[in-house]
Structure formats: structure tokens, C-alpha cells
Structure 1
Amino acid sequence: MRRWAGGGAVAVLVVAAVVAGCTGDGGRDRSGGDGTPGASGSAGSAVRGTAAALPDDVTAALAVEIRQSRADWGRRVVQVRVANTGTVDVTVERARLRSPTVEGDASSDRGRDVRAGVDRDLSVPLGDPVCPVTVGGTAAADDATGAGTDGAQVELDVVDADGRAGTVVVTPEDPQGHLARIHGEDCATLAVAAGARLWLDDDLPRHPVDGRLVGSLTLHVEPVAGGPRVEVWQVDRTNLVIPADLTNDWPVAVDTAALAGGTTVVLPVVPSRCDPHAVAEDKRGTFFGVHARVDGVDQPVFYVPSSDALRGSVYDLVAASCGWSTG
């Protein structure tokens, strides 16, 4: 396997433990980290051991989902959402996510109080991705989006106010397919990087065209010596900027097999919206989705991020184009 260089029925196992008390950050909000309420899926339970064990009805009332806030997308952090559908308040001291698509355990660094009838998110940073490999040794992504929660498991260290504790082992739900999408992006990034380097200019020159202010976004593509053939054929719009011809994407025709060295592609951009809160609350408006093939195999969409300088220039373009006062 290539590693990163740089619902149905849910089974639960509760391992009894004796603890002196409970910890947590005491969070009281009812929404998750991405602002969306609720969690789906519930659990049956089995208990091993008897000393101070959490009762079956307490563990069976814990439902687990995988979520991801847009702010955490680029950082490869996901949320383990725990919904307590029962009547007993508990503290989840730690959540650990294991998946065959990433290395090691993704573990939260703090606990959460999960009162009866509410849900809480515990953020876990993912380990390096594990991707299939082609015959030539290149990371492949053609089957990556089928991975999803297959084989994924969550362990929750749980304690209640009476000191009854256990480790709840759950197969999580992932209704929005976050793990599959992340795996596809990760493996496509690796596959493309084996044959080409892609990056965006820090600068975003702008000039008037037919009464509109148009920015020139420059994408660089540089072949990697000895790497697989990479074809870049499309770059997607974002929620902040769109092609100057008002279509949804920029067609691109770059083939590393035809390049003696690096090349650049200029993408004319204009704002896609003029509501100020879109910039003020932006999370993904400066990440550009790229469509590519590696040795003739279509890859899942992956993202080329903007530098801090380019991000600021994109915001400035939107402000100038929309006539916002900067005074």
C-alpha cells in the first residue's frame, strides 16, 4: 500500500473499568462543529466484566456518526459525533477512530460531556492516508471512493456521574460519505503528485474587461521526472469565484507527456457573489478542485489550495469588483 509522504447494524462492545471521577470540557451547545444538529444510528451492546460497568441501556443509547466541518476539510480533521439518545448523562473522555484508509488511530485530544438528549462533536486529526498502488508503484485512486466506512471503527471511553465506565466500540455511520471523499482526495493527490507538481501563483493580477474587473489566476504544472503521465483537464469554480465567461469550470488541456518542462495556465476569474458574509465566513472559497488522469485513469477531484497571499488577493478582487468600501 502507498502511504502519505508529507449504516447498517452497529455492534458495540463495552469493556468495564473503574474510575474515580469524570472529565470533560463541559460544552453545552447542542450543535456539532459544522453547525448541523443530530446524529443517526444506534447501538446494541454487550458487556465484558461487571465492576462499575456502564449499563446496557446507557451504551445502547449512544449513536455515532462521522462529520466534517468545512473549516477542517483542508486540515484533514473529522468530527466523531456522539448522540446520547438515552436518559443518563455521560462524559466521553476520548474518541478514537480507526479506518483501513488511514494509518494508526485518530484520537481526540479532549473529552466532551454528552448529556441525555443532546449530541457533541469530538475532533480527531486523521493519520496519513493508505492508498492502493499500481503495478508501477504509483499511488492509485480509481477505487478510492469506494472505501468509506468499510472497516472503520470508533472507540469511546465513557463514564457517567456515578463512576461507571467502559470503552464503547462502535461501527460509525457516515451518511454524507466523508471518509470515502477524503480517501479519494488523498489518493488522487498522491497519484497526481507522483507525475506532476501543481501550484497556484501568489499574485492575482486584475484588469477591466468589458466593464468588469477580471482576475488572472495562474496554475503551474511541472512534470516529475520518471513519474506517470498526468493529464489535467478541468479546474472547478469555487463558492467565491467563477470563470469570467460565467460557466461552472475552466477547461484545461495539460498533458505532461507533451511537456519538456513546466507550463502555466491562466484562468480568468470574476466573483460568483457579492454578499459580504461570503468572504467574512469563507472556508473553502480559495481551494480549487482539479480533475486529472494518471496513466489514463480518471482520479477523484482533489484540491489545490491558495497561499495566504493569494487568498487575500481573491478577497480583494471580490471587494473591488463588488464595490465594497475599504475605508
Structure 2
Amino acid sequence: MRGAGRAAALLLAALLPLTGCAAVGAAPVGAPTPEPSRAPLAASVDELSVTADLYRTRSDPGRGGIQLSLANGAASPLVVRSARLESPALAAPMLRRDEATVPAGQQRDLPLRLPAPVCGDPAPAPPEAVLEIELDDGSIVELRVATADRIGQWARWHEEACFAEAAAALAELRLEAVPPAEEGEIGVRLVAAPGGGGEESDGGGGEGEAGSLRLLDVSGSVLLSALDASGRPVASIPVPDDRAAAPTELALRYAPARCDAHAIADDKQGTHLRVGVALTTAAGEQRGEIVVVPDAATRDALLTAVLAACASPARDDRG
């Protein structure tokens, strides 16, 4: 018993200093919580060090967006009150009004929405970033920063957007989910309706005519594996010559390219199909691809069809 009493006394002696420290450091009831101190911002423009580049994530093509990536090379945080991108190749500036902070020595991406392109320049320079920056005294300064096209996506977007704009004047393309031709497949209908760019022509591309559009082929995607009319895998589905001009409807066959649940649930572009087209105008023929993005209801229907095809016993039977 004497040993137990001694152990209890030693434990009490050890706890008493801790209890005393806690009591001394405790804040009074109802006392305001002190706000964390903010790191000082740059005192002048001379203390700022900002570089910028552009790139697109997997989600950006579907929403018509692009990322402005800002790197803060200064020793203080960078508070961006607004940002916009200006270029003669854009019909309007890209504007972001939400405030954003880039910590010292770090990088942050700011998503922006792309406007319509201004076409004519085959290789436009990347746009200029115009940033409203808050200084330490609360004043706002404007900073202009040249941007870099990180992996050529800005130039690629402009080229594709101008080609799609010219094509849209001649034909409107859309996707529809339809019942599959065979169990274990995904059925897609491509509809090409006449566009609103002028009077219909006979395809000759003569003077005063808007021109003509001819469908060439339709691709697969990361989720949709293209099949030919016999159900065999192909790199792309060719469009018959007699079905190539708008108005037309094409029944397309696909098999699941992936069936892992994560890939389907995290899909960004798996229901986007690239359609090869040839445009004929007075200037000649131009070939390219148009990315056809389904509306939300069609996208959901196609993803449901992928899941159903993945679960179909017929798919296992065909290997």
C-alpha cells in the first residue's frame, strides 16, 4: 500500500504543473478570437514577379474553357482581384472577376471561358493577361503579362474553332443516343442539318454560294470503340458518299472501350466524337475535324448505354 500511495503522489505532482499552465493560458470566456496575421503584400509594382501561360484540362473542351496559369515568383503573396485575356484573335476579352491569391513561390490556375474566335490569322500569338493586383496599402494596380502557349493548345483551339465556325454556317451537327444494333453495343445517331450560313448550294462552290460540307468519317473515343457496319472494330467509321451531305442521319455502332467504373464515373470527353469533314467554298477545299459535344441528356444516356453494354452477356460471348 505504501508503494501505491507513493505512485499516486508522484502522478499528482506531475499533473499539477500541467494543470497550472493550462489555467494560466486559457482565454477568458467571451474573449474575441484573434485573427491570423496576413503576410504582407508587395508594396509596389517593382516587387511583383508574375509569369503566365495557358493550357486546357480534360474538362475544358466540354465547357469551352481554358486555364490561365499564374506563377508567383515574388517573396509575398499575390492577390489577383480580376483577370482578363485580350487578343485580336478573340471576339471579346475573357474576363474573371473572382479574387484569387497565389502564395509566394507557388502557381495557381484560373479557369476562364473562351469567347468566339476572330478568324483570319492562321497562327495567332497567345493573348495578353491583364491583372488587377492588390498592393499592401490596399491600392489596386494593373499588370500586363505576356502569356505562353504551354503545349500548343491555344493555337489548336483557335484553328479548330475557326474551322468549326465555317462548318456551322453550312451544317449543324448533333448526337443522339439510340437503341443499339446488337446486344452489348452502344447506338449513336449523328444528325447533320443544314446550317444558317446562306443559301444552299449544289456543292459546286461557285461564286455567290455559301459552299458545301461533306462528312468523311466519325471517330471513337476513350469510352466508345468504333465499329463498322458488320460490327468489326475500326479506327473510325467511314461515311458513305450518298449519306455525306446535309441533311442526313447516320446510325453509328460502338462497343465499350473501357468498362472500369472509375473511368466511366470520371468521364470528361468520352462521349465527344470527332467528325472529319471537307468544306468546299470559292477558296477551295479545306479538310479538318469538328468535335461534336452531346447535350447533358444525351451524354447521360450514352454513359448509361456504356454501362449496360459492359454488363451485357453478349459482350462476353463475343470476347
TM-score, reference length from structure 2: 0.71
User: If you compute each CA radius of gyration, which structure gives the higher value, 1 or 2?
Assistant: 2
Q: For 1:77, which of 57, 65, 76 is the aligned residue?
A: 65
Report what 2:258 is aligned to.
Answer: 273
How big is the shift at 1:114? 0.8
Structure 1's 92 and 165: CA in aligned 2 closer, same or farther, altered over 3 A? same
Moved over 4 A (4+): none
Q: Higher RCO, 1 or 2 (CA under 8 Å, sep at least 6)? A: 1
State the AA in 2 paired with 1:98: E
Q: Would you say the 8 A contact 1:65–1:81 is kept in 2?
A: yes
Q: For 1:239, which of 202, 205, 222 is the aligned residue?
A: 222
The within-5 A match list for 1:183-198 is 183-198=158-173
Q: For 2:182, which of 164, 185, 208 is the aligned residue?
A: 208
Aligned length: 252
3-state DSSP class of the match of 2:255? strand
- State the identity %: 29
Q: Would you say the 8 A contact 1:97–1:154 is kept in 2?
A: yes
State the AA in 2 paired with 1:96: R
For 2:79 and 2:170, locate their aligned partners in 1 and report how far apart those are by CA, in whole Å: 47
3-state DSSP class of the match of 2:110? strand
Report what 1:54 is aligned to.
Answer: 44
Report what 1:64 is aligned to.
Answer: 52
For 1:298 and 1:252, locate their aligned partners in 2 and report how far apart those are by CA, in whole Å: 17
Structure 1's 127 and 307: CA in aligned 2 closer, same or farther, altered over 3 A? closer
For 2:304 and 2:222, locate their aligned partners in 1 and report how far apart those are by CA, in whole Å: 15
Structure 2 segments unaligned to the other structure (5+ residues): 1-41, 202-209, 313-319
How big is the shift at 1:266? 1.7
TM-score, reference length from structure 1: 0.70
For 1:222 and 1:103, locate their aligned partners in 2 and report how far apart those are by CA, in whole Å: 26
State the AA in 2 paired with 1:169: R
Report what 1:97 is aligned to.
Answer: 85
Structure number with higher helix proportion = 2
Give the superposed CA RMSD: 2.4
After superposing the two structures, state which structure 1 stretch, 176-185 or 156-165, moved more: 156-165
How big is the shift at 1:53? 6.0
Structure 1's 92 and 181: CA in aligned 2 closer, same or farther, altered over 3 A? same
Q: Would you say the 8 A contact 1:148–1:181 is kept in 2?
A: no
Structure 1 segments unaligned to the other structure (5+ residues): 1-51, 133-142
Q: Does residue 86 in structure 1 map to residue 78 in structure 2?
A: no
Q: Does residue 302 in structure 1 map to residue 296 in structure 2?
A: no
Report what 2:34 is aligned to.
Answer: none
State the AA in 2 paired with 1:289: R
3-state DSSP class of the match of 1:73? helix
Cα deviations by residue, 1:274-294 (Å, 9 ceiling, x for unpaired) = 111111111111111112111
Q: Would you say the 8 A contact 2:170–2:211 is kept in 1?
A: yes
Q: Does residue 218 in structure 1 map to residue 189 in structure 2?
A: yes
Structure 1's 105 and 63: CA in aligned 2 closer, same or farther, altered over 3 A? same
Cα deviations by residue, 1:152-179 (Å, 9 ceiling, x for unpaired) = 2111111244446522111101122222
Report what 1:289 is aligned to.
Answer: 274
